[in-house]
Amino acid sequence: MMLFALNLLLAFLWAILFRSTDEKTLIIGFLVGYGILAIFNRSYGRRGRYLVIFLVNLVWQVIVSSIELAWTLVQPTLKLSPGIVAIPLDVTHDFQIAALASAITLTPGTLSVDLGRDKTTGQDVLFVHTIFMGDPQKLREQIKGSFERYILEISHEGVIN
């Protein structure tokens, strides 16, 4: 968080240097500051990279799911197979869980329903409703391999070396 604040400070210093406070100057200043900080602190650079990947992935998932849902709704017979899938969570902090649940809910056709705890392992479990059930394990792997993985990387508890 301290590095992000420093990045914002560098962006404002850039704007002062160029005597302009328009959006373009501030964005360029932020990017230059990010580049400088990423050189000196590789962790900050990696986290920023995964934030961009997460956001691009989220937008992509929303677009693909929207098209899939729209295509299903214009068919003469609806072929929905709704169901609820329990997804064991590796994210542990409230903000991480909220970010994951929000990303899932933003994707058309899925909804984060509840947060529970597995009685045998004690691990948090997120219950997700989907209107296209298919293979529950595939849905688990898709969410854990994309949204959850990137959230862990962004919050510096990464699983990728």
Topology given in CATH for the domain delimited by 77-154: Alpha-Beta Plaits (3.30.70)
pLDDT category of residue 115 using cuts at 50, 70 and 90 = very high
CA distance 50 to 55: 8
pLDDT tens digits, 133-161: 889 999 999 999 999 999 999 887 554 43
Q: Where are the domains of the chain?
A: 2-40, 77-154
- Give the pTM: 0.79
pLDDT tens digits, 14-50: 999 999 888 999 999 999 999 999 888 888 888 888 9
Among residues 95, 121, 99, 125, the alpha carbon closest in space to that of 113 is found at 125
What strands, in cross-sheet order, belong to the sheet with 110-117?
A: 83-88, 124-130, 110-117
